[in-house]
Amino acid sequence: MGMGRELYDTHSQARELFEQANQELGFRITDVMFGGTPEDLKRTGVTQPAIFLHSVILATTIEGFQPRMVAGHSLGEFSALVANGTLSFSDGLSLVFKRAMAMQKACEAEPSTMAAILGMDDEQVEAVCSGIDEVVVAANYNGPGQIVISGSVQGIDLALKQLSELGAKRALKLPVGGAFHSPLMEPARAELEEAIKNAPFSIPVCPVYQNVNALPSSDPARIRENLVAQLTAPVRWTQTVVNMIADGATSFTEVGPGNVLQGLIKKVDRNMTTQSA
């Protein structure tokens, strides 16, 4: 069954939100989500809003959904901000669509990519990246011994060679269209900044732990600033999970397609309770 189709068919509120999204986006994204090919789902302007819609709408179907704290990985931060009431469904969707289009333009401006590095300390990876005379930076701190780097194609190639020689368990390019969470996303950050500044942000019902600093915030102005910075800054997911656990989190519910984040949380603390919505 297509992405989100079961939600559409079995929950009236979900169906209303999907149809609202179709209207606001100006095309029937549900047709692509429910019946499109994998290539269709990878199209500019489809992937990010589709994941956002699945996550946010799924959350509305959870009985008694009252998180004490929220966080999201990269795009997922927008879903988290709807879940805790900082952004409305409509404003969140609008920002996600604008983000997707801005990132695509930045990707087309300069060839760039990302790579996953397994089995090395973060500090080792950072040191290699900083010693290369190309744009290449740590982009995603996903878990202990698991980091993603991002940069120019040449910079990534040089880093992969050096990291492999230093004993990385795995060092491989990822099938992505650009260097997300790196300085090469600056054009997208600048474009999205205006939209984020103009969107209404409310006081949330619980704190969001944001990607750029892994710290909790309930201040709309600070949340806005961090969201703007997110496009060119690394996703500090490892640090986010550590801080949430330190602040009292005892169980995590992943809301959205897949269960990747549950696996990453278990890498930080294998005794932590995790579940899918």
* 164 counts as catalytic: no
CA–CA dist 214, 170 (Å, integer): 26
CA–CA dist 79, 99 (Å, integer): 13
Q: Which two tokens stand for residue 97?
A: 């669509």
CA–CA dist 76, 257 (Å, integer): 11
Among residues 54, 112, 181, 217, which one is catalytic?
A: 181
List, as own/partner pairs, every contact residues 164-168 make where C-beta atoms lie below 8 angstroms and the sequence separation is at least 24, other chains included. 166/120, 166/124, 166/128, 167/119, 167/120, 168/117, 168/118, 168/119, 168/120
* 217 counts as catalytic: no
Distance of CA 173 to the CA centre of its chain: 19
Among residues 74, 79, 152, 217, which one is catalytic?
A: 74
Q: Which of 75, 73, 117, 120 is nearest to 237 (CA)?
A: 73
Active site positions, annotated: 74, 181
